[in-house]
Amino acid sequence: MRLIASLLLGLVAAFAATFAAGQEYPARAVKIVVPNAPAGVSDIAARILGNRLSEFWKQPVIIENRAGAGGLIGSEFVAKAAPDGYTLLMGAVGEFATSQHLYTKYPVNPLKDFTPIVLVSDAPMVFAANAGAPFNTIKEMIAYANSRPEGLAYGTAGIGSLSHLIAARFAFESRTKMVNVPYKGGGPAGAALAGGEVMVAPLAASSAIPFVKSGRVKMIAVTTARRLALAPDWPTVSESGVPGFDATNWTALAAPTGTPREVIAKINADANRALGMADVRERLAAVTTEAVGSTPEEAAAKIHSESERYGKLIKLIKVTRD
């Protein structure tokens, strides 16, 4: 009986210590690493969420941009950091679902090296066409592309970029003949579309809107599962003839694998609290991005499913980077 009592006391003490650790976190500054340059979707999400978390925790939340190598520099830094909750990663689709399949040498495995905490934001993409294009809907675009021996050329932010992969996925699922014309970034691709160099391009909604307002570009469809609140008249690809199509530039917050569960739970609860606040949602909406929020399990499921989907696509279209 004494042995059992001793074991029970040990378990209670361990639980109390674990609970206390979660309650005390954070006791100092927390760093959120963004593996991209400033002003991208991950950077914006990190800064908006980080400001609110800093207020909740009464501790500094430092946003550190470590860009380069397709997100590898920042991702590897976090993967090798102490798993104590004080160094976190704010990544997007590239870091969590595509880069490990694109690069021939990519030492980070997002499915093993990180513990997902929460889905943070979702930035919609759109299929936009030059104002003079002879089609106005997805069905008309598909018919036009398939009527041409060479298919339909589309502009993207570069080979292996999210815009390229979304268009390739669309072409595969809709059985449309399309040819990638890579540019050096989303800005040049949008300018090429507006100038008539290419007839269609998948763009971030935030990049497409100014061109649409100027009359140089027309909207064909949004790539999200449902219509956008900011533009409810724009149809989705899914309702326009490619059922189930849903491809966006989402972001997620993650920690190094091995981070205590109670710390993950603490960050998750406070992040969801922040993402549910009106001012946070409004600040994200102002840059054409939607606040999400999730459980750690939902975030992990999203990362796994998207990694599997893009992994198969990248293998199918035979795209690699050195």
Asked if 221 contacts 139 with a C-beta cutoff of 8 angstroms, the reply is no
pLDDT value of position 70: 86
Sheet of 87-92, strand order: 61-65, 30-34, 87-92, 249-256, 114-123, 290-291
Domain residue ranges in the chain: 29-123+248-317, 125-240
List Cβ neighbours of 322 (8 Å cut-off, separation of 6 or more).
Answer: 103, 104, 105
- pLDDT tens profile 248-294: 999 999 999 999 999 999 999 999 999 999 999 999 999 999 999 99
- pLDDT tens profile 9-22: 444 444 444 444 44
pLDDT value of position 5: 41
* Same-fold call for 29-123+248-317 versus 125-240: yes
pLDDT value of position 322: 74
Q: Cα dist. 154→77, 183, 255 in Å?
A: 35, 10, 37
Per-residue pLDDT 10s for the chain (322 aa) are: 444 444 444 444 444 444 444 469 999 999 999 999 999 999 999 999 999 999 999 999 999 999 998 899 999 999 999 999 999 999 999 999 999 999 988 999 999 999 999 999 999 999 999 999 999 999 999 999 999 999 999 999 999 999 999 999 999 999 999 999 999 999 999 999 999 999 999 999 999 999 999 999 999 999 999 998 888 999 999 999 999 999 999 999 999 999 999 999 999 999 999 999 999 999 999 999 999 999 999 999 999 999 999 999 999 999 988 7
Give the ranges where 107-260 is alpha helix by DSSP (H): 110-113, 138-147, 162-174, 186-195, 205-214
pLDDT value of position 321: 83
In the CATH hierarchy, which top-level class contains the domain 125-240?
A: alpha beta
pLDDT value of position 23: 61
Asked if 209 contacts 120 with a C-beta cutoff of 8 angstroms, the reply is no
* DSSP 3-state percent helix, strand, coil across the chain (nearest 5): 50, 20, 30
Half-sphere exposure of 171 (CA within 13 A, CB side): 23
Residue 171: φ, ψ to 5°: -60, -40
pLDDT value of position 9: 44
pTM of the model: 0.89
Q: What is the average pLDDT score of the chain?
A: 92
- Assigned architecture for domain 29-123+248-317: 3-Layer(aba) Sandwich (3.40)
Asked if 122 contacts 248 with a C-beta cutoff of 8 angstroms, the reply is yes
Measured CA to CA, the distance from residue 74 to residue 238 in angstroms comes to 34
pLDDT value of position 320: 87
